């Protein structure tokens, strides 16, 4: 019994330590963000931000678009099969449009970015730690948080919401394709229905979520990299851990945000 | 006044004492070689001298600043006057060799890009890598990587140059070339050089003084001639390459007896 309690206590302390480390890292990064900003910050740091935006955002575009198109099509088909029975096929448009802008667009994007970039952050920083590159930075009076983390975080803050918008558009267009194929609804009319069914608030809540998801993915990925101990096997474990933890935390954060918006009367 | 002063330095990892009350003064312009076998604590001592780790007790003062207890800003200032080449070279794999050398110049000086290019070329020329600047570290041999790391360490013309096992794993010719480079830097620029090594010919070629570490304490500190003439059994064993008693029958028997006692205790 005592050993069970010991284990539970130890794991709880470990999790609290992890959350504490995430918070400390977040504050340290926010303090260092000024150096990564364009015009007012360090020129080389901003170049790093642009490179990261290309990797996180532009390189992920095909994957995120395809995922959104497939999911939009699936959602429309599944919705149609049920709603048709009640003669409410036109509600498929609301289902796809509202579902994507509030929920699926940001969530799908976050899962894709977590798999692509969260793991890459952990692997990159973990390898730098194993090869003493992080120590090299420190002895050159360069802080890894400012040099590595701040550009990645700023790039994620810009790229993830942009990708979410692309995901929303692709998912909704896939719904339109389904409606055209199944009911011959003209694309223009479909767009008009979509614009009447979604509100600016829906888009904004989706974007707020995607900013939170970007924070989770960037910080979990980087923290896992910084916590690497030992050799290459540890880098592999941290990479896996980064994807698992960031995906889990993204879904938890999504539930929390959705609950907050629901109970405060905002969608 | 010594440029580096170590007083009563104690370092422990997980309750295991690695360095036990070390005292050492390193004078300005001196080449100090830290000699010792594997696991004697050389690299640990070096990591404390460059402020990468904080000791359990004692102090390490660099240019009069106790880097174990100073502020982050003071530590940065001290670090700018130290150039470090790690045992693994620790060049940034994502950058070319010339970008590696240019990094501290871009971060810590306001020099124009054309001047930085010139300085980088000069530093690479000093170590004989002027024609290899465009290559990435993974395209270089072990010796070239180490020379690249020395070029980067020299980038800001540091007052103190710290080299961790510079000749380890190098062929005798490249190792001798590195020794000559260290001597050149010391004589020409009056740099204080600290070299960690267990290569005897290299140590006796470059050192002004040698500090010999054994199991976390200095077994001897003195000039080359004093160390050569030392009657200290540890120093003699090291200099005369006398094997330890790890393979002798009584030692093996003692290990076996300990093992059996442990097994009996568990049963």
For residue B128, the 8-state DSSP code is T
Which pairs from A248-255 meet CB under 8 Å and 24+ separation?
Answer: A249/A216, A249/A220, A250/A107, A250/A110, A250/A111, A250/A114, A250/A213, A250/A216, A250/A217, A251/A107, A253/A209, A253/A212, A253/A213, A253/A216, A254/A103, A254/A106, A254/A107, A254/A110, A254/A209, A254/A213
Mark out the alpha helices in chain B (DSSP H runs).
Answer: 42-49, 72-80, 97-108, 113-126, 142-154, 172-189, 200-206, 224-228, 233-239, 249-266
Is B97 among the domain residues?
yes
Whether residues B90 and A133 touch (CB distance < 8 A) is answered with yes
The answer to whether A240 faces chain B, any CB pair under 8 Å, is no
- The span from the CA of A127 to the CA of A133, in Å, is 8
Structure tokens belonging to residue A85: 């029975």
Q: How far is CA B64 from CA A105, A149, B5, B68, in A?
A: 58, 32, 8, 12
Contacts of A141 in chain B (CB under 8 A): 75-77, 79-80, 107-108
The model's pTM: 0.86
Contact map slice: B 179-208 vs A, CB within 8 A: none
Contacts of A136 in chain B (CB under 8 A): 84, 86, 90-92
Residues B22, B24, B30, B31, Cα dihedral to 10°: -20
Choose among A133, A138, A141: nearest Cβ to B80.
A141
pLDDT along chain B (267 residues), means of 10: 91 88 92 87 90 89 90 90 91 93 93 94 90 93 89 93 85 84 87 89 91 89 89 82 69 78 76
User: β-strand B65-66 against B31-36: which pairing, if any?
Assistant: unpaired
- The span from the CA of B3 to the CA of B227, in Å, is 23
> What residues make up the domain containing B153?
91-157
Contacts of B75 in chain A (CB under 8 A): 141
pLDDT of residue A116: 93
Nearest CA-CA partner of A54 in A133, A127, A163 = A163
Is B125 among the domain residues?
yes
Contacts of A140 in chain B (CB under 8 A): 79, 103-104, 107-108
B83 backbone dihedrals φ, ψ, rounded to 5°: -110, 130
Calculate Rg over the CA atoms of chain A.
21
> Cα distance from B172 to chain A (closest Cα, Å)?
25
Instruction: Report the residue of B74, B77, B88 to disrupt the A interface, i.e. the one with the largest count of A CBs within 10 Å.
Output: B88
Task: Compare all CA atoms of chain A with the CA of B91 and give the residue at the minimum distance.
Answer: A133
* Cross-sheet strand order for the sheet of B16-26: B16-26, B4-13, B57-62, B65-66
Per-residue DSSP letters for B192-231? Answer: EEEEEE--HHHHHHH-SEEEEEETTEEEEEEEHHHHHT--
Q: How many CA atoms lie within 13 A of B253 on its CB side?
A: 3
Structure tokens belonging to residue B146: 């180490």
pLDDT of residue B267: 67
Question: Residue-wise pLDDT tens for chain A (267 aa)?
Answer: 678 889 999 999 999 999 999 999 999 999 999 888 988 888 888 999 999 999 999 999 999 999 999 999 999 999 998 888 888 888 999 999 999 999 999 999 999 999 999 999 999 999 999 999 999 999 999 999 999 999 999 999 999 999 999 999 999 999 999 999 998 899 999 999 999 999 999 999 999 999 999 999 999 999 999 999 888 889 999 999 999 999 999 999 999 999 999 998 765
pLDDT of residue A232: 84
Contacts of B50 in chain A (CB under 8 A): 139
Is B150 among the domain residues?
yes
φ/ψ region of B11 (left if φ > 0, alpha if ψ in -120 to 50, else beta) reads: beta
The answer to whether B116 faces chain A, any CB pair under 8 Å, is no
> Cα distance from B148 to chain A (closest Cα, Å)?
13
Whether residues A131 and B108 touch (CB distance < 8 A) is answered with no
The answer to whether B13 faces chain A, any CB pair under 8 Å, is no
- The span from the CA of A147 to the CA of B78, in Å, is 19
Structure tokens belonging to residue B119: 């300085």
Is B44 among the domain residues?
no
Contacts of A135 in chain B (CB under 8 A): 47, 52, 86, 90
User: Which burial class, exposed, middle or buried, applies to B17 when counting CB atoms under 10 A from its CB (0-12, 13-18, 19+)?
Assistant: middle
Q: Are A131 and B93 in contact (CB under 8 A)?
A: yes
Handedness of CA B120, B121, B126, B127 (dihedral sign): positive
Q: How far is CA A48 from CA A52, A120, A155, B94, B189, in A?
A: 6, 15, 9, 12, 35
The answer to whether B138 faces chain A, any CB pair under 8 Å, is no
Domain edges within chain A: 60-263
B24 backbone dihedrals φ, ψ, rounded to 5°: -160, 140
Q: How far is CA A69 from CA A60, A172, A177, A194, B96, in A?
A: 14, 8, 10, 16, 40
Contacts of B76 in chain A (CB under 8 A): 141
Q: What size, in residues, is chain A?
A: 267
pLDDT of residue B128: 85
User: Domain tally for chain B?
Assistant: 1
The answer to whether B82 faces chain A, any CB pair under 8 Å, is yes
The answer to whether B217 faces chain A, any CB pair under 8 Å, is no
């Amino acid at each position: 019994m005592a050993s069970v309690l010991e284990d539970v206590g130890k794991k709880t302390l470990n999790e609290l330590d992890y959350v504490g480390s995430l918070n400390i890292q977040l504050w340290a990064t926010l303090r260092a963000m000024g150096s990564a900003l364009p015009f007012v910050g360090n020129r080389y740091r901003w170049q790093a931000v642009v490179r990261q935006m290309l990797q996180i955002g532009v390189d992920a575009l095909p994957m995120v678009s395809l995922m959104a198109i497939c999911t939009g099509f699936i959602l429309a088909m599944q919705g149609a099969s049920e709603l048709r029975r009640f003669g409410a096929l036109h509600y498929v448009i609301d289902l796809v449009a509202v579902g994507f802008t509030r929920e699926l667009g940001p969530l799908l994007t976050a899962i894709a970015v977590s798999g692509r970039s969260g793991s890459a952050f952990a692997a990159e920083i973990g390898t730098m730690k194993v090869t003493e590159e992080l120590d090299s930075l420190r002895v050159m009076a360069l802080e890894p948080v400012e040099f590595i983390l701040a550009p990645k975080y700023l790039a994620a803050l810009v790229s993830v919401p942009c990708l979410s918008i692309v995901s929303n558009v692709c998912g909704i267009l896939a719904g339109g394709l389904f409606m055209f194929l199944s009911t011959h609804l003209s694309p223009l009319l479909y767009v008009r229905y979509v614009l009447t069914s979604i509100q600016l608030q829906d888009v904004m809540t989706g974007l707020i979520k995607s900013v939170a998801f970007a924070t989770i993915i960037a910080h979990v990925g980087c923290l896992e990299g910084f916590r690497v101990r030992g050799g290459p096997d540890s880098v592999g474990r941290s990479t896996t851990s980064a994807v698992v933890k960031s995906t889990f935390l993204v879904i938890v954060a999504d539930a929390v945000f959705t609950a907050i918006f629901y109970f405060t009367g905002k969608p | 006044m010594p440029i580096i002063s170590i007083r009563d330095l104690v370092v422990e990892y997980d309750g295991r004492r690695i360095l036990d009350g070390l005292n050492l003064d390193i004078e300005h312009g001196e080449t100090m070689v830290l000699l010792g076998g594997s696991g004697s604590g050389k690299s640990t001592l070096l990591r404390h001298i460059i402020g990468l780790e904080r000791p359990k007790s004692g102090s390490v003062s660099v240019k009069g600043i106790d880097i174990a207890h100073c502020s982050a800003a003071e530590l940065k200032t001290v670090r700018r006057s130290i150039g470090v080449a790690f045992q693994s070279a620790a060049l940034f794999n994502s950058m070319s060799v010339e970008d590696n050398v240019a990094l501290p110049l871009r971060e810590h000086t306001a020099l124009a890009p054309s001047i930085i290019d010139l300085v980088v070329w000069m530093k690479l020329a000093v170590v004989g890598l002027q024609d290899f600047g465009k290559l990435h570290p993974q395209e270089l041999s072990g010796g070239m990587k180490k020379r690249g790391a020395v070029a980067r360490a020299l980038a800001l013309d540091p007052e103190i140059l710290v080299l961790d096992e510079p000749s380890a794993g190098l062929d005798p010719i490249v190792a001798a070339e590195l020794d000559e480079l260290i001597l050149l830097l010391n004589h020409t620029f009056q740099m204080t050089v600290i070299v960690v090594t267990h290569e005897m010919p290299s140590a006796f070629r470059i050192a002004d003084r040698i500090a010999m570490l054994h199991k976390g304490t200095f077994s001897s500190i003195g000039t080359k001639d004093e160390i050569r003439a030392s009657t200290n059994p540890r120093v003699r064993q090291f200099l005369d390459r006398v094997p330890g008693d790890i393979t002798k029958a009584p030692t093996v028997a003692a290990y076996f007896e300990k093992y059996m006692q442990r097994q009996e205790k568990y049963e």
